[in-house]
Structure formats: C-alpha cells, structure tokens
Chains A and B, each alone.
Chain A
C-alpha cells in the first residue's frame, strides 16, 4: 500500500488487524453518539408534547426513546467487547516481546555457560600446571648440564647484580647509616631503684 517509501515504524499484519478493530470501535462510538442525539431529541419532543397535552404523541416519543436506549446499551456493550479485545491483543503483543526477550537472554546465558564448561576450565588449569612443571623440569635439566664452576660463576653474577641493586638504593639508606644507632635495649631501671633508696633513707631518721 505504498508504505515502503519511508523508513518510519514498520507496519506488521498485527497492526493492520488492530487498526481494523479500532476502526470498528470508532464506528460503534459514532453510532452511540448518534443514538444519544436521537434519545435527547425524543426526550425533548416528549416534554413538548406533555406541555401541549398531547399524551399519545408523548408516549410514542418515549417509546422510541426507550427503544433507542436499549439499542444504545447494546452498542456500548459491543464497543466494550471490542475495546477489551484490542487491549488483550496489544497486551499479548507485549507479552510476545517479553518472551522473546527471555529467550534471547537465555540463549546468551547458555552460550556463555558453554564457553565456560567445567571440562574446559579444568583443562586450562591442567595446561597451566603442566607449563609450570615443564619450566621446573627445564631449569633442573639446565642445572644438571652445567659444571660446578659454571654454577659458581652464575651465583657470583647474581650476587653482583644484587649488589648493584642495593647500591642504587644506598643513597637513601646512607642518611640512616650516619645516624647513631638506636638504643634498642630496655631503659635502666632507675625508678625501681630510687624508691628503694628512699626507703632506705627514710627509716634512718627514726632511730635518731
């Protein structure tokens, strides 16, 4: 229907069905408006006829009105049913989206779980353990291959490197080195001795 030209929202077959239902509902609404007009008019006529003492005509108008009122309630009921149907459909569409969303989420979750299967994780852990073992094995073998003197040389080189490292840190340590050493032994127990001395002194005056 020439809807292809623009890139606005897509019209689905469901949309078309809903439109049809809504058009029907609009029609019913228009009919009910029309019936209401007739009812009002008949009421007016009945009132006028009563004023003019024309009972028969008034009765006729009221009867017509009653008939229209019945019709109106039928129409309104139908409109209500349609409205309900429309609401149900629109809600079902939302539910469909909801289920679709759930499904999508579930799939992603499943895929992620598949990628992180226990066997795979175990295998990765095993692999890395093997790697470590291989590394150890390798250094052991290398150690065996070398003679004692070479081994000593390697140790010496390591020591040299360590010394250099320490020398780099030394300037900071120098300041600390120049300071006197912190006394680290417990303070002399002078307080403990003094009271004893006083105690010794105090009794002295007594005999005097």
Chain B
C-alpha cells in the first residue's frame, strides 16, 4: 500500500510559488498538510531538504521488517517535492519557506538549528501528544514502574502495532523529556552517560 496523493499534487501550478498573497497562503497550507500526511503515512520522522526521508542517515533500517524496507526504498528513491508524472518539482527556496512556516506553526523543528542541511523533524503529532500516546500505552499495557530501554520502546515486540513504533531516537528523547518535565517518567543513563532507558511512573 502506498501513499495516496491528493488530486492537487497532479496540478502543475501547485509546484510553482504563487504570486497572489492569499493564494500563496492556501498553497503553503496545502503543502504543509501534504507533508504531514505523507510523513505520517510513511513514518518519516526526519525530512531532508529535498523532501526525502532523512531517517536512514541517522537510524539504521531494521532489515527484519520487510514492509519497512520497501517503504524506505520507495521513499528514498523519490522526493515528495518532485512529481515525475507531471514533470514538476518545487524550488529549494520555496521548500525552505514552507519548512520555516511549518516550524513557526510548531509542526516541525530543525534537526540542528545551527545547521539546516540535516533537514527537519516533522511533527504530525506534537511532542506533548506523543508523550500522552506513549504514556497512555505504558499505562494500559501495565508497564508502569518497570524499566524500559529506548530500543525496546522503538523496536520492541510489544510496541510493534503502535504508531510510535520505529520512532527516531532523537525524537523519542525529546518526547521522553516532556514526560520527565511533567513527572511522568525518569530517564536512565548508561555507563557512558548516554540516555539508554526510561522508567515510567504509575500516576
């Protein structure tokens, strides 16, 4: 199953920055919605500057999961901002403009605020929403007050059917920090001082 693009994606002017300010606003909001839907569907946590999944560089692909593999292959081969069918693609400065708008609307964040070339973290859920989703799941699966590794959360058998399965580690740590700030979890570090595990509270 692959992502079903909206009809506007096959409309050539959609790929050209509109001059009329009101039309431009609509165009940008459509693009933002498309990016969010697309990333949510393909589980893209980090989007590169040219609209490819930036996850592969930061997170190795789980070869056991073939479906995942296919998704990655498809995603990395083709950019969201290039539509071969109508032979159109977005200009990079317009992509930057859309990214900046997403960031101002808290739908995204630079991976590295000082170096934009690593792309953006896409938030189809806000960090707070993710925190609630994970905490809720921990609660209903009776895993409160037990120690979990980050790997277990991201790739564990129990989490396989969850939306946060396969979450990018950088994003996961941000989510866990939200939980720590609201006293719902405690982060545990390994011997090297790296965040390795988490213990959720049961309140």
Contacts and interface: CB of A to CB of B under 8 A. Distances in A.
Interface string B181-197: 10111111110010011
A158 B99 CA distance: 101
Size class of the contact patch on chain A: 20 to 34
Contacts of A22: 147-149, 152, 197
Nearest to B199: A9
Interface residues of B, number: 29
Contacts of B149: 19, 22-23, 26
A18 B148 CA distance: 9
Given A6-B181, A16-B188, A19-B149, A11 B64 contact: no
B11 interface: no
Interface string A6-49: 11111100011011101100100110010011001000000000
Interface of A: 1, 3, 6-11, 15-16, 18-20, 22-23, 26, 29-30, 33, 36-37, 40, 90
A9 B200 CA distance: 7
Contact of B63 (A23, A36, A90): A36
Contacts of B189: 1
B201 interface: yes
B62 interface: yes
A1 B192 CA distance: 11
Contacts of B146: 18, 90
B197 A19 contact: yes
Contact of B62 (A8, A10, A33): A33
Nearest to A10: B186
Contacts of B64: 33, 36
A51 B149 CA distance: 44
A-B pairs, 7 with minimum CB distance: A8-B186, A9-B201, A26-B151, A19-B197, A37-B63, A18-B147, A22-B149
Contacts of A19: 147, 149, 188, 190, 196-197
B187 to A, nearest CB: 8
A33 B197 CA distance: 21
B180 interface: yes
